[in-house]
Amino acid sequence: MTPTSTAAAQTLDVPGARLHYEVRGSGPLVVLVGAPMDATAFAPLAELLAVNRTVLTTDPRGHQGSVLDDPEQDSTPQLRADDLARLIAHLGIGPAVVFGSSGGAVSVLALAESQPDLVTTVIAHEPPLGELLDDRDRVRANTDDMIATYRTGDVVGAWRKFMANANIQMPEPVLQQMFGGERDPRQLASERYWFDHEMRGTITWEPNSAALQSTPVRIIIGIGADSTDQLCDRASRALGAAIDVTPAIFPGGHTGFVEDPAAFAARLREVLEAAS
């Protein structure tokens, strides 16, 4: 949290974990969530949206301030959806508009399936739904390989394989700078948990297309303008085809809300107004 942040940080006990969450602003409830991205990554976007909305951000279970009773427990989309449901119910100002990006997009799709009464609109921004792809077997095998590589201690090698699997171009010096050498211990712990206990369950989760088509929840699929042909772009388009939803294009790439929060906030408001 930055010194100028308007967030009120709190915790909530849920089955198996204590969740760190932050609340900003007032008005209709909007939830911003990632996996493994934590609340800090969404803070600039949250500040912009909090002008006329209550904005909830949270660290997903097992990451940063959201501590598990059992550190070896896997994080599944269903568990993360239940966490979100409990947070929304705890605040008592729902139903909510819920925006999830990457693994967080998988979480919010699971929430739409399990607790549709708690949400009005779900925006799934670039969910890595590998099981919806024609080359799902390759994606699954590559995921297992990068996890195995990480567990040997070759962190940079695992990230190199991750970027290749995602079809994200990252120059080797940048890769080394980001994932080699000395790094923050909390960041490393979060990374380790993601590789060991979260990644595979997220990428291999398959949504219930019939449930998503029949739900009263508005489902919006978001794709980054700069994500063309990346794994999450392909998976998002496959999801759109499966549930008959045309994806909405957002600024930037996979983390466009970090790259340019102002442009992303403007587009998010535009998309929500069009859906209302």
> 127 and 116 in one domain?
yes
The confidence score (pLDDT) of residue 5 equals 62
| Domain boundary, last residue among 197, 216, 247 | 197
> 212 and 120 in one domain?
yes
| Domain boundary, last residue among 197, 225, 249 | 197
> 46 and 125 in one domain?
yes
The confidence score (pLDDT) of residue 3 equals 35
Which CATH number characterizes residue 227's domain? 3.40.50.1820
> 229 and 123 in one domain?
yes
The confidence score (pLDDT) of residue 104 equals 98
Q: How far is 82 from 181, CA to CA, in rounded Å?
A: 36
Contact 231, 165 (CB under 8 A): yes
* Enclosing domain of residue 156: 136-197
pLDDT digits (tens, 9 = 90+) for 39-53: 999 999 999 999 999
Structural domain contains residue 214: yes
Q: How far is 162 from 196, CA to CA, in rounded Å?
A: 14
| Domain boundary, last residue among 155, 177, 197 | 197
The confidence score (pLDDT) of residue 187 equals 93
Contacts of 12 (CB under 8 A, 6+ apart): 18, 19, 21, 86, 87, 90
**How far, in whole angstroms, is CA 165 from its chain's centroid?**
18
Low-confidence ranges of the chain (pLDDT < 50): 1-4
> 102 and 173 in one domain?
no
Structural domain contains residue 3: no
The torsion angle over the Cα atoms of residues 71, 76, 78 and 84, rounded to 10 degrees, is 60
The confidence score (pLDDT) of residue 94 equals 86
The confidence score (pLDDT) of residue 55 equals 97
The confidence score (pLDDT) of residue 6 equals 75
Amino acid at 32: L
Say how many domains are in the chain.
2
